[in-house]
Amino acid sequence: MTKAKQSGAFKGHRFPPEIISYAVWAYFRFPMSFRDVEDLLYKRGVIVSYETIRSWVGKFGHQYAKVIRRDRPAPSDKWHLDEVVITIRGKKYWLWRAVDSKGDVLDILVQSRRNTKAADRFFRKLFKQYGQPRVLVTDKLGSYGAALRKLAPGIDHRAHKGLNNRA
pLDDT at 94: 94
For the residues of 65-127, what is the DSSP string, one character each? HHHHHHHSPPPPSEEEEEEEEEEETTEEEEEEEEEETTS-EEEEEEES--SHHHHHHHHHHHH
Q: What is the pLDDT of residue 167?
A: 62
Fold of 78-159: Nucleotidyltransferase; domain 5 (3.30.420)
- Give the Cα separation of 31 and 57 in Å (integer): 14
Grouping H, G, I as helix, E, B as strand and the rest as coil, residue 160 is: coil
Per residue in 70-85, pLDDT (tens digit) is 877 788 899 999 999 9
Confidence of residue 43 (pLDDT cuts 50, 70, 90): very high
Q: How far is CA 136 from CA 81, 97, 111, 156, in A?
A: 7, 12, 20, 6
Q: Where are the domains of the chain?
A: 8-71, 78-159
- Mean pLDDT, all residues of the chain: 88
Q: pLDDT tens digit string along 14-31?
A: 999 999 999 998 998 888
Higher model confidence: residue 7 or residue 18? 18
Is the pLDDT score of 133 beyond 90? yes
The amino acid at residue 155 is I
Question: Is residue 88 scored above 90 in pLDDT?
Answer: yes
Q: Identify the weakest region by mean pLDDT among 26-30, 55-59, 114-118.
A: 26-30
| pLDDT confidence of residue 164 | 57
On whether the pTM is more than 0.85, the answer is no
Q: With 70 as the cut, is the pLDDT of residue 2 above it?
A: no
- Under DSSP, is residue 146 helix (H, G, I), strand (E, B) or coil? helix
What's the rounded Cα separation, in Å, for the pair 33 and 80? 29
CA angle 22, 26, 27 (to 5 degrees): 120
